[in-house]
Amino acid sequence: MKPEKLEAAAVRWHGRLETETIGMKLADAQLALALLTSLRAGDSDAIDLLRRQLRRLKPTLTSRLD
C-alpha cells in the first residue's frame, strides 16, 4: 500500500474508533494515533498494543485487527 493511502486509512480508522467508542478520553485518542503512527513506521509491536487498547475501549463494532 502506498504511504499516502496508508495514512488516509489510519485517519479513517481512528475516526471510526472515536465515533464507535463510548466515553473515549483524549489520552485514549492520542495513544491510538501514536500507535497508528508507529505501525505506519513499521513497528510491528504497535498492532498488539492497538489490539489491547481495543479490548479495553470496547468500540461498538468489531474491529478488523483481530
Beta-carbon contacts of residue 14 (< 8 Å; ≥ 6 apart): 29, 32, 33, 36
Q: What pLDDT is attached to residue 5? A: 87
At 51, is the pLDDT very low, low, confident or very high (cuts 50, 70, 90)? very high
Overall average pLDDT of the 8-37 stretch = 94
Asked whether residue 64 carries a pLDDT value surpassing 90, the answer given is no
